[in-house]
Amino acid sequence: MEVRWDVFWIIMGSALLTFIPRVLPLMLFSKIQIPMWLLRWLEYVPVAVMAALIGQELFMADNQWVPITHNPALWAALPTIAVAIWTRSLLGTVLVGIVAMMILRYLMG
């Protein structure tokens, strides 16, 4: 088996670029005391990122606002969010979301 060095170096570079952002903050922040206000602020980062990703997916298509009446993803999100809040079941939430999206795509064409 012959090793293609260009592929090898691409894989090694990708591994390094994946490793550095994960390890560097751990090494830096393990030595210092993080202020309490920063810890409280960092608690909101995952929620903000998730809201931005979901909001863009629900309200936009092809960089255009999608009207509510022609937006099956938005309508499917309503029962999905309700099930997520009431049951706290990931499997139930995913199943309701998939079934709601299937039904709405069938009905809306």
Domain of residue 102: give its range. 33-108
Does residue 1 carry a pLDDT above 80? no
Q: Is residue 11 part of a domain?
A: no
**What percent of the chain has a predicted confidence (pLDDT) above 70?**
99
pLDDT band at residue 36 using 50, 70 and 90 as cut-offs? very high
Q: How many distinct structural domains can be found in the chain?
A: 1
| Per-residue model confidence as pLDDT tens digits over 56-105 | 989 998 888 988 888 899 999 999 999 999 999 999 999 999 999 999 99
Q: What's this model's pTM, rounded to 2 decimal places?
A: 0.62
Question: Which position has the token pair 């909101």?
Answer: 44
Chain-wide mean pLDDT for the chain? 92
Q: Is residue 9 part of a domain?
A: no
- Quick one: tokens of 39? 């810890």
Q: Is residue 6 part of a domain?
A: no
Whole-angstrom Cα distance, residue 2 to residue 61? 45
